Amino acid sequence: MSNLEQLLTQIAQNKLGIETLETRRSDSLDFHDVAVWCLRDALEAAFNAGIEQGRNATQSDKANT
């Protein structure tokens, strides 16, 4: 599992209460009712993780020059 997949799975678990992002070929397992405030929290967490990833990449680039 890639770092991105792990991060997205962690956000889904913590913010949305979704156990896995893997397709399980069952409507009751693959479709979820999610409150809009939980969805907002998950999107915000993903956005912030992207910002952090960008900062880390920039700092790494500066350290390598």
- Domain locations along the chain: 3-20+31-64
Give the rounded distance of the alpha carbon of 31 from its chain centre: 17
Residues for the chain: how many in total? 65
Instruction: Retrieve residue 33's tokens.
Output: 């009712």
pLDDT of residue 61: 77
- pLDDT greater at residue 58 or residue 3: 3
> How far is 63 from 65, CA to CA, in rounded Å?
6
Q: Say what the pTM is.
A: 0.84
pLDDT of residue 65: 67
Q: What is the pLDDT of residues 15-47, one digit of tens each?
A: 999 999 999 999 999 999 999 999 999 999 999
Residue for token pair 């949305």: 16
Phi and psi at 40, nearest 5°, equal -60, -45
